[in-house]
Amino acid sequence: MNILDMLKEEHRALEHLMTLLSHSSLRETDARREGLATCEHALLVQMEVEEGVLYPTLRLRMSEAEAECTLDAYAQNYAIADLLSRLMLLATDDEIWRASLRVIKENLERHHAEVETTIFLKAREHIDDATLVSMGRRYAALREQRALERLDKRTFAGLSLRPSVLQRQPAVTSI
């Protein structure tokens, strides 16, 4: 699968999770906390791939004027990540929590729509299919590596052993 299709699927999954969270009750504090952590993780992995793989590749193949859209996408990513990190500081049973989540969800959906209608179209014009598929494989490997790292952090939280002591090798050594 190519990177654009993978990111599009990830966008829908993240939006769906945000919808589920927005319908959660004040009493579901643990579910909200866990769901928000999952959203943050997914968003950070998406940003890492978009900003570390897709956007730079696209910028190399486009004129400076055409590449302006990637700068907007960088800024939108940072704004959404900042809002999400602020939400994570709020108590999940705080009344403002749901309203803050709604603002983030709306920004995220607008960002995804813009990226999919501008950047993804430009990527299909400027990057050949084989390269998009190769980038998709790199994204899948990175996503797997980040999932393992997240699992290691949760499994070894509070222990003196570091996950790196284990025999497990990361799925990707560099991107």
- Give the model's pLDDT for residue 153: 63
- Give the model's pLDDT for residue 152: 66
CB contact at 8 A, 101 and 18: yes
CA–CA distances in Å: residue 4 to residues 50, 75, 84, 133, 170:
10, 20, 24, 9, 24
The tokens describing 37, both together, are: 């952590």
- Give the model's pLDDT for residue 108: 95
Tokens 């654009």 appear where?
4
Per-residue pLDDT of the chain (175 residues; tens, 9 = 90+): 999 999 999 999 999 999 999 888 878 888 888 989 889 988 988 898 888 889 999 999 999 888 899 999 999 999 999 999 999 999 988 889 889 999 999 999 999 999 999 999 999 999 999 999 999 999 899 888 887 887 766 544 443 333 333 333 333 434 4
Interatomic CA distance for residues 1 and 115, integer angstroms: 18
CB contact at 8 A, 85 and 40: yes
Residues sharing a CB contact under 8 Å with residue 147, sequence separation 6 or more, in sequence order: none
Helix, strand, coil % over all residues of the chain, rounded to 5: 80, 0, 20
Q: Using CB atoms within 10 A of its CB, is residue 44 exposed (0-12), middle (13-18) or buried (19+)?
A: middle
